[in-house]
Structure 1
């Protein structure tokens, strides 16, 4: 489960890359270059047939805690947002973190691994969002692996799930398609297009 990621780029650069306009109704600012649960991050959504760059809080609230990753697509908790294209969004990312499942033999502690897409300095997770009485919130999809998780770059570290990274040519499809077509994009990004670093 991804609970930390980075967006090391300015709002202006993210807006330019995604062809988005700043959200005039944004109520919070993204002050750090990393995002943790319950903290603000950028999302790109559509409104009135144009892309808008908004700042929202990461995680749908549930029992006092932010739920950051969408895993069960059929759950009523997520379904209303998934089935409504206007509630889908792109989550700009430069790197994301997964912890090793087992502690390292030399330290006895789990090790953080950082994943990026070298061909895309800023890539996007498939996200959903919803308005709240305060600041709007967002989360992003995760998925399993085809075949042996250990054969995938992320699965070798975190075998349960991987964030859904979209190819740029699929951004519009995620934002506009019917739910079945949109969810067909929920698959593990090709390992050969990813790199692992120390953050």
Structure 2
């Protein structure tokens, strides 16, 4: 479920889009065009009343038993069960919520494993959109994941289980600051008529 997305905008565009003044030199070589689990990507978070742009690794560390019987780390990239203790502490604390900027996200359509077609979704009226995300400190640097919800009518025929939570621009500040129950009202399918499929 959405383990690949694009961030076609560079750092300077993100700073402008989110109203961030950075004291650091801008690196226009970052981020790469496509982003995958375990890789670093930009997130926006609130700190002391201002927004900050950070690079974090995608996926909360989670230990599972592999086929060999050994314990291995498998990152969890999507928040599906909002009541799970695994996510609850990050969701409850507004300081642990973040915005994950993207320009398009992908889902694999139905088909045989290894041959499923890849589809890309975007919001044509908005060059940079935000997933509703959470983050936390971790060994080796901070990590993030983003929320999922029921798919809308555009995504459902391709991926009937879920879609990422896309935020309207006017809801981004609420996601970063509102009490939990209010913040979770934003975890709804984005209007299909505002999206496009490539």
TM-score above 0.5? yes
* Paired residues for 1:143-154 under 5 Å: 143-145=149-151, 152-154=153-155
Equivalent position of 1:164 in the other structure = 165
* Structure 2 residue 140 is the aligned partner of structure 1 residue 134: yes
Equivalent position of 2:5 in the other structure = 5
Query: Could you tell me how far apart the structure 2 residues matched to 1:187 and 1:53 are?
Result: 25
| Residue aligned with 2:139, SS | coil
**CA deviation after TM superposition for structure 1 residue 30, in Å:** 4.1
Query: Could you tell me how far apart the structure 1 residues matched to 2:23 and 2:105 are?
Result: 25
**Contact 1:23/1:53 (CA < 8 Å) preserved in 2?**
no
* Structure 2 residue 58 is the aligned partner of structure 1 residue 69: no
**CA deviation after TM superposition for structure 1 residue 103, in Å:** 3.9
Structure 2 alignment gaps of length 5 or more: 64-72
**Contact 2:31/2:42 (CA < 8 Å) preserved in 1?**
no
Equivalent residues, number: 185
Change (3 A) 1:162 1:23: farther
| Residue aligned with 2:154, SS | coil
Deviations 1:41-60 (A, max 9, x none): 10000101000000000000
Query: Could you tell me how far apart the structure 2 residues matched to 1:111 and 1:125 are?
Result: 23
Equivalent position of 2:116 in the other structure = 110
Query: Could you tell me how far apart the structure 2 residues matched to 1:21 and 1:46 are?
Result: 13
After superposition, the CA RMSD in angstroms is 1.7
Residue of 85, 104, 108 corresponding to 1:99: 108
Runs of 4+ displaced beyond 6 Å = none
Query: Could you tell me how far apart the structure 2 residues matched to 1:159 and 1:111 are?
Result: 15
Change (3 A) 1:114 1:7: same
* Paired residues for 1:39-54 under 5 Å: 39-54=39-54
| Residue aligned with 1:73, SS | coil
**CA deviation after TM superposition for structure 1 residue 102, in Å:** 2.6
Structure 1 alignment gaps of length 5 or more: none
